[in-house]
Structure 1
Amino acid sequence: MPETITLPLAPMEPNDVADAFAYIRARLVGDIDAADAVADDAGPEQLHRLLVDVAARVFIPVTAEDDRDGEPCAHSFLAAALGRLLLELLCHSVCLGSLPGAADAITRFTDNILTEDGDVAGVLRQLEAAGMRQAMEAHRTTA
């Protein structure tokens, strides 16, 4: 059975958090020019790595096996496998591995799984704020 990610992910750099979410927000509202500008500034390969980093922070906590309530069931392992598969697709798939595909997958996951009232932009702002807090805290402790 494959192992799941159980250790906390290393914090992202504050600028990386800002770039990734700027791209995701631009895609969400259909501002292709702004999305392209972020991609040009960050570099497509670097931005893709950042989007996969963000996706891991969004997907893994939601899909990870949860044994707090006792023994995990088969559905727990299925959810964890689906989370890992989705990350793998973002890394290597032709359609989801592109910058727009990765950003849109994060947005769709947020909309379908994390959002109850349809406020995807609001949930993305919360995710960005959490990532920025973690990045700033890590930056303070290493500086």
Structure 2
Amino acid sequence: MSQSHLILWRHAEAEEGFPDLARALTERGHQQARRVARWLKTHLPHEPRIMVSPAQRTQQTASAFSRHFETVTHLGTQARPRDLLQACAWPAPADPYTLLVGHQPTLGETAAWLLTGEVAPWSVRKGALWWLTQRERNGQIQLILHAVIDPELI
């Protein structure tokens, strides 16, 4: 089995308002997205499959990295961890690198579920990403927390 990489990226800081799906990034949010996108571009060895919630703030966050992404309704604001994993066919995705741009609390719950086997209310900060790697070692499947990147620290 080769390695599979799942990168969970929470949208950057967004304006308050209604309707929820139309909320845009703030200037600070655009800066957060650009910083994380720069970091990703220097650390990803391959172009990932990019799947994004239909919300404007997630679309804008993903656009800081690439204009080539899929909008996936199942990654929207009401998504659950199972929805995210089914959308990208985890744990056996077709692509070795998958980048999901979505929302809290779903991203934190997904990270908790993958790393502990239990859904828990873990927090993913605005604009941050969690990079998980699945590999086989000595006949065992392992999940590794490869990186947690906060836009305020890069």
TM-score (norm 1): 0.31
Greater Rg by CA: 1
Pick the structure with more strand per residue.
Answer: 2
TM-score (norm 2): 0.30
